[in-house]
Amino acid sequence: MRPRDFNRSWTSKFHVPTIQPVKRRPVRVTSYRDHEPNRADTLSSRYTHHKSVEDDFELEEIVGEGAFGTVHAARCRATSKRYAVKTRTADKKNGVPKLSDIVNEEITNEAMFLTAAKHENCLSLHALYIHPDDNTYSIVTELCHGLDLFEYVVDYYRKNVGIGMKERDALLVIKQILQAIDSCHRAGFAHLDIKLENFVFQKTEEEISKLNADLDSSPDSKPVENILKLVDFGSASWFERAGYAESSGDYREGFDDEYDLQKLTGTAYYVPPEVWQGRFSSRSDVWSVGVVAYTMICGVRPFENATHTKNMSASEVERHVEFNIRTNPTVKFTEPAWGGVSKETQELIKGMLQPASMARSSAAEALELINERLL
Ligand SMILES: Nc1ncnc2c1ncn2[C@@H]1O[C@H](COP(=O)(O)OP(=O)(O)O)[C@@H](O)[C@H]1O
Ligand SMILES: [Mg+2]
């Protein structure tokens, strides 16, 4: 059973539906419509609006709640296999497209990006149901049994009696996060809502311990590791052509360019300076990983002065963080926890939190640094 008693008050989601276009340096802007027919075909074979999700799946317990919908465990009536079902209302005021838009586009953004991200660290899509009668749609995906990363970090602090994760434990998690993000970027899109709550462990710690206890004792058998899955692709945006890596051999092209954002989405604490100004690139996700990494290791969010925010409401804290990121986005390692962390790991995080997206590490570069120098 996943504990549900964690206090999430230090995170909250904001959503601003539209922002004014801003001046930017000239870049190529692409639309997924230009190059996505194949993905739409792939997805349309898995989507239906002829029946309800509950015709095929029996909904069971709630496994998560986000700003836009509830996620249930569900059992497939035909095979008895368990999945996750996320149901959302198609409602413009929540920034979700109207159902007619969805049907016109054939697919929802979220389901489309879920099919595009093919990696073991990204959630995999099973089916999509559109329910025109009550203006909702349901996304059926693989079910994760473990904690989400927010819960995991709070649980880790509790078990280790203190705030902050050990450097190596944090790096093992950051590595999985970067693998997920790198795979999105290689597929040509940025996720744009990277945060602790949007990663979930595939298995519970008990399941992993049991698998390891059952391993035979031969020296070749490797311990089973829990796989972290990136979820919630509802804010993602294309920045480059589908299948670019395969066709050109140079998947990095387009990674550095900034593109205009259609709408500002995300969670204030994790939003990079360029996104506040209405632009994004693949490096916007890397900034958010920097925020996740910083927070996991020292237990305090960067760009928030905790003494100032002690008595503020959640929305006041968000405005305070936004102001700091817009005006002085230079990260400082002054918390006591940083005293015990290697210079290399601090450099890794500094590289991910470079204010100018062009100067920021890519996910692939950060991953290389972890694999070759830090783990
Ligand atoms: N496939 C899944 N298996 C288990 N838990 C999930 C799954 N997908 C999402 N969750 C949980 O549900 C929460 C909300 O889901 P998410 O897709 O992030 O919705 P929202 O768009 O509303 O934020 C997540 O933070 C996570 O804890
Ligand atoms: Mg979410």
- Which one is predicted more confidently, 33 or 65? 65
Cα of 212 from ligand 2 centre, angstroms: 30
Tell whether ligand 1 has an atom less than 6 A from the beta carbon of residue 226. no
Q: Which domains can be identified in the chain, with CATH numbers? A: 31-142 (3.30.200.20), 149-374 (1.10.510.10)
Tell whether ligand 1 has an atom less than 6 A from the beta carbon of residue 143. yes
pLDDT band at 116 (very low <50, low <70, confident <90, very high): confident
Cα of 240 from ligand 1 centre, angstroms: 26
Cα of 70 from ligand 1 centre, angstroms: 8
- Which one is predicted more confidently, 162 or 120? 120
Q: Whose CA is nearest to atom 20 of ligand 1?
A: 66
pLDDT tens for 235-252 read 888 876 433 444 444 545
pLDDT at 119 over 80: yes
Q: Whose CA is nearest to atom 8 of ligand 1?
A: 231
Cα of 217 from ligand 1 centre, angstroms: 36
> What angle is formed at CA 323 by the lines to CA 266 and CA 16, rounded to 5 degrees?
35
* For ligand 1, mutation pick of 83, 86, 233 (most atoms within 8 Å of CB): 86
| Whole-structure pTM value | 0.85
